[in-house]
Amino acid sequence: MITLKSAREIELMRRAGKITAAARALAGEMVKPGVTTREIDKAVYRFIKSQGAEPSFLNYNGYPASVCVSVNDEIIHGIPGDRVLCEGDIVSVDVGAYIGGFHGDCAATYACGTISAEAQRLIDVTRQSFFEGIQYAREGCRVSDIGHAVQEYVERNGFSVVREYVGHGVGRNMHESPEIPNYGKGGHGPKLLRGMTIAVEPMVNAGTAAIRQMPDGWTVKTADGKYAAHYENTLLITAGEPELLTVPAP
């Protein structure tokens, strides 16, 4: 069931979103050669707790960490550990924070030191595909209008959109209805209504869209070993432009 948020609930979502966005920014600043993915996870955990919030991901369906850190050909759900980041890596960070009964959820891909021009283009196209998509995150549009715009932009730039994982509603639960695919024909799916809060999150592969699920049950990699990037924000459907809820406090 799709839930529409009241004015009070939206204020609580803004609070959760600001903490989540600040945690993402902290993780991004830590993406440097020589840093381990576990160090990023520990810092994010400490920060979220310092804000009076809880990490949304920790123990979610058994997930063992507070942040997903996915490196190079890892698309999503990379489990932090002893891996040391190296010059030239690209690192996708996905984080959520829960406070006041509501979740925020956001992600971005960061360069570790100097990266190749093609890797930077992948990051840039993935981020821009989010903004292409949310042009249709407006009252009266349909869910598939967002995904259609994402797919069109990504494929026009020579990359591929992951099919198996999608965006979603966000609120009292981290994953709510409706699902927000990053592909498909426009004009389908539920209508977007004022008060809906959703996470739009393009996951883009440099090569084919095919994926591989790793034995740890979480990490998802590209099937061809080429790089992947991820970009996500939680947003509110309004009477006009969508409001990004996962923006750091000024």
pLDDT > 70? residue 44: yes
Model pTM above 0.95: yes
- The count of structural domains within the chain is 1
Task: Determine the 3-state secondary structure of 138 from DSSP.
Answer: coil
Domain contains 250: no
Domain contains 2: no
pLDDT tens for 199-217 read: 999 999 999 999 999 999 9
3-state secondary structure 52-117: CCEECCCCHHHCCCCEEEEECCEEECCCCCCCECCCCCEEEEEEEEEECCEEEEEEEEEECCCCCH
Over range 123-148, report the average pLDDT.
Answer: 98
CA nearest 91: which of 107, 70, 114? Answer: 70
Kindly report the average pLDDT of the chain as a whole number: 97
Which residue range(s) make up the domain with 50?
7-244
Q: Please calculate the CA angle 100-106-110 and round it to the nearest 5 degrees.
A: 145
Please enumerate in sequence order all residues whose Cβ is within 8 A of that of 30, keeping only pairs 6 or more positions apart, or say none. Answer: 39, 40, 43
pLDDT tens for 146-179 read: 999 999 999 999 999 999 999 999 999 999 999 9
Token reading at 57: 């991901």
CATH number, position 198: 3.90.230.10
Domain contains 249: no
Percent of the chain surpassing pLDDT 90: 98
